[in-house]
């Protein structure tokens, strides 16, 4: 399925009359207002090499487009509180109101995934994996003093890597602010500025305690352009009952395809008997990447005649895709390369496995969950090791209007057996208390005392142990998923600033169709 943005304004010509009245519940076609911009873009659209379709317009035009477009394609369009588009002078702010306020049975917001971002930023991040930062990924293990903010992993060749920052290091201080004990709300801005640099070249000073170190040390990090390595660790673990392939897969971005192909080819050459797929920090991204990887795991025979995922739009679009007008057909298990970062149409290699071990955590979201769900849909046994996933069976068609790309929930996905109800996530079967959809496996807390891919790391060790018959005793130390979720409800601004540092870009926390071309 190709991603396409809404078209231009057709033959209307000129600027739409800003005095057009607003009548609640009455919606003009979105095409009447599409690409009529308060600040039209000049030059060529890099995705099409043709001039931008923008024409002179107004903020009201942009808001009217958002209102009509949301009413047409939002999955829960009939749950939007229809507010006047003339009451907002910022389209992005108006967009935030165009979603349901309902909650799930567990009390979570039904739509936790609604957002927008500048189109140029979306293009850069999604197609090349490039963004600004230090290249360190952090996990807030505890948000109440004494806080525990730990490095979960570091991007290769990044400022963090050059400072010898490694998994398990504790963050103690940023620009003189004590992260561990401070209760001062004024420190929130300092923390946020240091940990989330907005531009390249920002320098900040940190005090850290390395894993197993007796004391602490100071480091200075300068933000730079970071190129993400989606699959940075691929290795073979020799065991007495066969070779195990380990694949750390962190992001469903376009550049992941060649890395995943190389990994699968390596595993084929080595003759692995089992695969451990580490998705604990993979919060989502492009669905076609998830489909291709699932096919490479399951193989031709398991997927023959079956689909990866079927998407369902709202009741206005029961038979056709509203973004391209084509009849609705299931998303297949993609068997060939996409052509974005390799030659198009090459057959993907396969492992033909009947089971897979998946390492998960609360950051395992959306496109990553679709791997779990879709493999289960074709009877590949998925054994889950870790903690409950985040619960996002929904997705987007990213849509540009006037230089902003909007992500509103467009569809729900179900597997080849018609299942897609996991809004509270997937959980290993022995997860204590409020679990999501339970599947075979072991509940195991994240282990920051070992490197990812180390056979002694708790989750990987549990997967290796399960191959010989049972969950290890360590699995009873269930991950703090539910406790962390409850803590969020009473966060202070300082807690929010600290918690948000571990978040990946919002688009990477979801499932999205193909990138723009």
Mean pLDDT value of segment 442-455:
96
Confidence (pLDDT) at 112: 84
Q: Which residues pair with 55 in a beta bridge?
A: 36
pLDDT digits over 311-323, tens only? 899 999 999 999 9
Confidence bin at 136 (pLDDT 50/70/90): very high
Percent of the chain with pLDDT over 90: 66
Confidence (pLDDT) at 15: 42
Q: How far apart are CA 149 and CA 145, in angstroms?
A: 11
Q: How far apart are CA 407 and CA 115, in angstroms?
A: 5
Q: Assess contact for 471 and 431: CB atoms under 8 A.
A: no
Confidence (pLDDT) at 307: 97
Q: Assess contact for 322 and 7: CB atoms under 8 A.
A: no
Confidence (pLDDT) at 349: 98
Lowest mean pLDDT among 116-125, 163-172, 227-236, 372-381: 116-125
Element (H, E) at 496: helix 493-499
User: Pick from 150, 286, 264, 277: which is nearest to 211 by CA?
Assistant: 150
Confidence (pLDDT) at 5: 30
Mean pLDDT of the chain: 87
Q: How far apart are CA 34 and CA 94, in angstroms?
A: 16
Percent of the chain with pLDDT over 70: 86
Q: How many CB atoms lie within 10 A of CB 345?
A: 10
Q: How far apart are CA 386 and CA 463, in angstroms?
A: 9
pLDDT digits over 231-285, tens only? 999 999 999 999 999 999 999 988 899 999 999 999 999 999 999 999 999 988 8
The helix, strand and coil proportions of the chain, stated in percent and rounded to the nearest 5, come to 25, 25, 50
Residue whose structure tokens are 């240091």: 194
pLDDT higher at 490 or 180: 180
Mean pLDDT value of segment 332-337:
95
Confidence (pLDDT) at 478: 44
pTM (predicted TM-score): 0.82
The residues near 254 (Cβ < 8 Å, ≥ 6 apart) are 126, 127, 128, 129, 286, 289, 338, 340, 341, 515
Q: Does residue 204 carry a pLDDT above 60?
A: yes
Which class for 216: exposed (0-12), middle (13-18), buried (19 or more C-beta within 10 A)?
A: middle
Q: Does residue 6 carry a pLDDT above 90?
A: no
Confidence (pLDDT) at 100: 96
pLDDT digits over 35-86, tens only? 999 999 999 988 778 999 999 999 999 999 999 999 999 999 999 999 999 9
Q: Where are the beta strands (DSSP E) in 134-284?
A: 136-142, 148-154, 170-174, 177-178, 203-209, 217-222, 224-227, 233-239, 242-248, 274-278
pLDDT digits over 389-448, tens only? 988 898 888 899 999 999 999 999 999 999 999 988 999 999 987 678 999 999 999 999
């Amino acid at each position: 399925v190709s991603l396409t943005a809404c078209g231009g304004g057709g033959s209307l010509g000129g600027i739409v009359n800003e005095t057009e009245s607003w009548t609640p519940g009455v919606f003009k076609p979105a095409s009447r207002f599409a690409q009529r911009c308060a600040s039209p873009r000049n030059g060529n659209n890099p995705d099409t090499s043709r001039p931008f379709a923008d024409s002179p317009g107004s903020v009201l035009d942009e808001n009217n487009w958002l209102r009509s477009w949301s009413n047409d394609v939002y999955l829960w369009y009939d749950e939007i509180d229809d507010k006047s588009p003339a009451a907002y002078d910022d389209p992005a702010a108006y967009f935030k109101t165009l979603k349901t306020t309902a909650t799930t049975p567990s009390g979570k917001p039904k739509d936790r995934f609604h957002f927008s971002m500048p189109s140029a930023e979306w293009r850069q991040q999604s197609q090349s994996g490039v963004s600004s930062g230090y290249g360190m990924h952090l996990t807030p293990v505890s948000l109440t003093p004494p806080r525990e903010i730990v490095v979960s992993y570091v991007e290769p060749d990044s400022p963090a890597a050059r400072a010898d920052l490694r998994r398990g290091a504790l963050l103690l201080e940023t620009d003189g602010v004590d992260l561990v004990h401070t209760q001062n709300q004024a420190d929130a801005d300092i923390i946020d500025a240091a940990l989330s640099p907005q531009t390249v070249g920002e320098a900040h000073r940190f005090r850290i305690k390395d894993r197993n170190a007796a004391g602490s040390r100071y480091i200075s990090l300068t933000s730079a352009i970071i190129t993400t390595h989606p699959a940075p660790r691929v290795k073979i673990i020799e065991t007495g009952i066969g070779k195990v392939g380990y694949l750390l897969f962190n992001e469903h971005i376009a550049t992941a395809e060649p890395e995943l192909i190389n990994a699968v080819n390596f595993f084929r050459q080595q003759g692995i008997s089992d695969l451990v797929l580490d998705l604990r920090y993979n919060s989502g991204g492009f669905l076609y990447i998830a489909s291709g990887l699932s096919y490479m795991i399951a193989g031709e025979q398991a997927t023959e005649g079956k689909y990866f995922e079927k998407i369902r739009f709202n009741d206005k679009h029961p038979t056709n895709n509203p973004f391209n007008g084509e009849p609705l057909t299931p998303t297949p298990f993609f068997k060939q390369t996409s052509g974005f970062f390799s030659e198009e149409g090459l057959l993907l290699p396969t492992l033909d496995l009947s089971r897979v071990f998946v390492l998960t955590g609360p950051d395992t979201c959306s496109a990553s969950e679709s791997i779990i769900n879709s493999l289960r849909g074709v009877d590949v046994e998925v054994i889950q090791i870790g903690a409950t996933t985040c619960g996002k069976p929904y997705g987007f068609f990213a849509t540009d209007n006037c230089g902003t790309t909007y992500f509103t929930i467009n569809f729900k996905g179900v597997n080849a057996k018609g299942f897609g109800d996991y809004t509270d996530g997937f959980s290993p079967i022995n997860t204590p208390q409020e679990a999501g959809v339970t599947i075979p496996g072991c509940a195991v807390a994240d282990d920051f005392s070992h490197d990812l891919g180390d056979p002694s790391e708790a989750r990987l060790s549990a997967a290796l142990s399960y191959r010989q018959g049972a969950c290890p005793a360590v699995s009873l130390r269930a991950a703090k998923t539910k406790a962390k979720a409850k803590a969020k409800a009473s966060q202070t601004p300082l807690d929010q600033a600290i918690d948000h540092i571990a978040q990946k870009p919002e688009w990477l926390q979801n499932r999205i169709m193909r990138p723009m071309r």
